[in-house]
């Protein structure tokens, strides 16, 4: 399978990349890891007339701690998450997710930024970013702006990244106090999209009362979904089995999965319920 | 419009003109006639087209040839040296790690990077490590043994038995 013809540039600075996007207009696309875009182009679901390959733009692959935030450069690869000591020690949720994303070869190239900018509710990072209350930095001709993750996903393949703009950084507030997080998705086989996936991040105070909760759901809604009622059910609670069961029940009720090859609606709601319960417990275990 | 690129494959630089839409695997197989790299599913699922780009295993059916400009590529043709087979090739040979052989080049290149990052992987780590490579003949057991053999050989450890197991 061969994509339709297109033009190609590989700029060596962000400024150059932005002017190329300006120049080529609405049919230009940014190429990062390419493991979502190129398959779509081969199947001719996508036919951009120009690709702006940002892989040669230096200084966009970092994963570090700065100003009380975890900062992930848009070109950080999935494998960089797995190899990062900072991620391993403070945000094991990314290791949970990354291990289940495609396979090692794809993770060598696929980027965290691309996983989000693709705007697919079946991707795994969106739910994780919802649970962690991430902020997305978008750079355009006018400069930088920051969008909270809750305002980032518009619809199927649509995000806050507008024509002529590039997603440049994801930042996540470093948790204060006792914190635990976990992600899991049910997949039929390695490399499959999630039947359903659940990301959970919790903080608790000294008395064991939950002070904040973030819960994101994968592939059970047209856009990545925050399970708000489940979060509310946990905050202020002692995270008893009853509280957890209630939160899990809310997540199952509030998502809107569709029937497909991976299962029917009822089955997927059940999977959400079970995974929500398990991920809350796993997050608690990691506190 | 064609682009001129230079890709070093197995140590030899190749300067060629390609359309941006040409896939790296097509450059390797069709333009440069190195057919050791296979095309299986053509959808980045099966791993038959796995090569190394600057030492990282990659599915060459999902990477454009222009993206490899200035990069070092290793294909299965680059594994053996004048001294003989690469330890991973020896491992596959000694352990019957292949039947039809279609997945083998991709499996071996993937295993090379796996052993580079983790010279003494556990069986579980090997199985996760080759999760992006499908084999429809062997049932994977002998592939895992081949990689364990290569690991031992590369570490200078005692080589595991290559006697077949009857289970």
Question: What are A94-150's pLDDT values in tens digits?
Answer: 999 999 999 999 999 999 999 999 999 999 999 999 999 999 999 999 999 999 999
> Residue B109 and residue A70: Cα distance in Å, rounded?
34
The answer on pLDDT for B11 being more than 90 is: yes
Sheet of A143-148: strands edge to edge?
A: A63-66, A69-73, A166-173, A135-140, A143-148
In a domain, B165, yes or no: no
Are A265 and A257 a contacting pair, CB within 8 Å? yes
ipTM associated with this complex: 0.96
- Indicate whether B146 and B96 sit together in one domain: yes
Determine the pLDDT at residue A87: 97
Is the pLDDT score of B39 beyond 70? yes
- Taking the Cβ of residue A38 and every Cβ of chain B, the question of whether any pair is shorter than 8 Å is answered with yes
Smallest CA-to-CA distance from A239 within A251, A250, A247 is with A247
* Yes or no, beta carbons of A191 and B23 under 8 Å apart: no
Pairing relationship of beta strands A50-53 and B3-9 according to DSSP bridges: unpaired
Query: pTM (2 decimals)?
Result: 0.96
The residues, ordered by sequence, that sit 6+ positions from B134 with a Cβ below 8 Å of its Cβ are B40, B41, B45, B46, B47, B48, B103
What is the C-alpha to C-alpha distance for residues B85 and B93, in angstroms, rounded to an integer? Answer: 10
B131 in contact with chain A, both atoms CB, cutoff 8 A: yes
Q: Which domain holds residue B145?
A: 87-155
- In tens, the pLDDT along B93-141 reads 999 999 999 999 999 999 999 999 999 999 999 999 999 999 999 999 9
Contacting residues of B for A106, CB less than 8 Å apart: 44, 59, 62, 132
Over residues A95-105, the pLDDT tens digits come to 999 999 999 99
In b/e form, how buried is each residue of B18-33, taking b as 16+ CB within 10 angstroms?
Answer: bbbbbbbbbbbbeebe
pLDDT band at A191 (very low <50, low <70, confident <90, very high): confident
Q: Quote the Cα angle for A120-A140-A42, to 5°.
A: 40
The torsion of the CA quartet A184, A189, A194, A199, rounded to 10 degrees, works out to 10
Contact A39 B44 (CB under 8 A): yes
The answer to whether B21 contacts A6, with C-beta atoms less than 8 Å apart, is yes
Beta carbon pairs, A and B, within 8 Å: 84
Q: Do A38 and B58 touch (CB under 8 A)?
A: no
More confident residue, A108 or B161: A108
Chain B residue numbers with beta carbons less than 8 Å from the beta carbon of A6 are 20-21
Residues B16 and B70 occupy one common structural domain: yes
Q: What is the pLDDT of residue B167?
A: 62
If one counts the domains in chain B, the total is 2
- pLDDT of the residue at A38: 97
As a whole number, the mean pLDDT across chain B is 96
B148 within domain boundaries: yes
pLDDT digits (tens, 9 = 90+) for A207-248: 999 999 999 999 999 999 999 999 999 999 999 999 999 999
Same domain, residue pair B67 and B13: yes
- Whether B8 and B67 map to the same domain: the answer is yes
Which CATH number covers residue B112?
1.10.150.120
B69 and B14, same structural domain?
A: yes
B51 and B8 inside one domain: yes
Report CB contact under 8 Å: B22, A2.
yes
Question: Could you say which of B60, B78, B96 is where a domain stops?
Answer: B78
| Residues B68 and B124 occupy one common structural domain | no
CATH of the domain at B33: 3.10.20.30
Task: Note whether B63 and B109 are same-domain residues.
Answer: no
Residue B161 falls within a domain, yes or no? no
| End position of a domain, from candidates B23, B51, B78 | B78
Asked which of B44, B78, B112 is the last residue of a domain, the reply is B78
Average pLDDT taken over every residue of chain A: 97
B164 lies in some domain: no
CB distance from A6 to chain B under 8 Å?
yes
Between positions 70 and 99 of B, the ones with CB within 8 A of A are none
Q: Are residues B33 and B97 in the same domain?
A: no
User: Is residue A192 less than 8 Å (CB to CB) from chain B?
Assistant: no
Check if B167 contacts A (Cβ < 8 Å).
no
Q: Is residue B149 part of a domain?
A: yes
The DSSP code sequence of chain B is --EEEEEEETTEEEEEEE-TT-BHHHIIIIIS--TTS--SSSSSSS-TTEEEETTEEEETTSSBGGGGTT-EEE-GGGT-BTTB--HHHHHHHHTT--SS-SSHHHHHHHHHHHHHH-SS--HHHHHHHTTT---SSS-SHHHHHHHHHHHHHHHTPPPPP-PPP--
Domains of chain A: 7-53 (3.30.43.10), 63-173 (3.30.465.10), 180-286 (3.30.390.50)
Say yes or no: B28 and B61 in one domain. yes
The pLDDT value recorded for residue B164 is: 80
For residues B74 and B92, membership in a common domain is answered with no
- Count other C-beta atoms under 10 Å from residue A45's C-beta: 9
B24 located within any domain: yes
The reply to whether residue B62 touches residue A6, judged by beta carbons under 8 angstroms, is no
Is B62 in the A-facing interface, judged by CB distances under 8 Å? Answer: yes
B36 pLDDT exceeds 90?
A: yes
Residues B11 and B74 in one domain: yes
pLDDT digits (tens, 9 = 90+) for A24-52: 999 999 999 999 999 999 999 999 999 99
Residue B160 resides in a domain: no
Beta-carbon separation of A39 and B59 below 8 A: no
Q: How far are the Cα atoms of A63, A72, A204 from residue A136, in angstroms, in the given order?
A: 14, 10, 26
Tell me whether residue B108 is in a domain: yes
């Amino acid at each position: 399978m061969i994509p339709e013809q297109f033009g190609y540039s590989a700029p060596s600075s962000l400024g150059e990349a932005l002017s190329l996007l300006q120049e080529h207009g609405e049919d230009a696309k940014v190429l990062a890891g390419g493991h979502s875009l190129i398959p779509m182009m081969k199947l001719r679901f996508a036919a951009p007339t120009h690709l702006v390959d940002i892989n040669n733009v230096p200084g966009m692959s970092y994963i570090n701690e700065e100003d009380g935030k975890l900062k992930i450069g848009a070109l950080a690869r999935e494998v960089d998450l797995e190899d990062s000591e900072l991620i391993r020690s403070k945000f094991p949720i990314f290791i949970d997710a990354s291990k289940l994303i495609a396979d090692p070869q794809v993770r060598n190239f696929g980027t965290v930024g691309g996983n989000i900018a693709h705007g697919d509710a079946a991707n795994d990072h969106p739910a994780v970013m919802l649970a962690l209350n991430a902020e997305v930095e978008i750079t355009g001709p006018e400069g930088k702006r920051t969008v909270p993750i809750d305002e980032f996903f518009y619809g199927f393949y649509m995000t806050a990244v507008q024509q002529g703009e590039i997603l440049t950084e994801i930042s996540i507030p470093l948790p204060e106090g006792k914190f635990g997080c976990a992600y899991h998705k049910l997949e039929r086989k390695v490399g499959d999209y999630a039947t359903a996936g659940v990301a959970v991040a919790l903080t608790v105070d000294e008395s064991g009362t939950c002070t904040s909760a973030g819960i994101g759901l994968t592939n059970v809604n047209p856009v990545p979904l925050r399970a708000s009622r489940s979060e509310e059910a946990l905050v202020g609670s002692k995270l008893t089995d009853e509280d957890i069961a209630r939160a899990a029940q809310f997540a199952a009720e509030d998502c809107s999965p569709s029937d497909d090859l991976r299962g029917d609606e009822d089955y997927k709601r059940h999977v959400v319920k079970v995974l929500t319960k398990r991920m809350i417990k796993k997050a608690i275990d990691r506190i | 419009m064609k682009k001129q690129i230079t890709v070093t494959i197995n140590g030899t630089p190749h300067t060629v003109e390609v359309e941006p839409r040409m896939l790296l695997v097509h450059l390797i197989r069709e333009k440069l006639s190195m057919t050791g790299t296979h095309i299986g599913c053509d959808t980045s699922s099966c791993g038959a087209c796995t090569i190394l780009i600057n030492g990282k295993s990659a599915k060459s059916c999902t990477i454009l040839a222009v993206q490899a400009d200035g990069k070092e590529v290793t294909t299965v043709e680059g594994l053996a040296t004048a001294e003989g087979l690469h330890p991973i090739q020896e491992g596959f040979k000694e352990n019957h790690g292949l039947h039809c052989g279609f997945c083998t080049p991709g499996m071996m290149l993937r295993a090379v990077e796996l052993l580079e990052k983790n010279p003494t992987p556990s069986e579980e780590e090997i199985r996760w490590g080759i999760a992006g490579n499908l084999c429809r003949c062997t049932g994977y057991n002998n592939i895992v043994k081949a990689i364990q053999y290569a690991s031992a050989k590369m570490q200078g450890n005692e080589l595991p038995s290559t006697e077949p197991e009857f289970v």
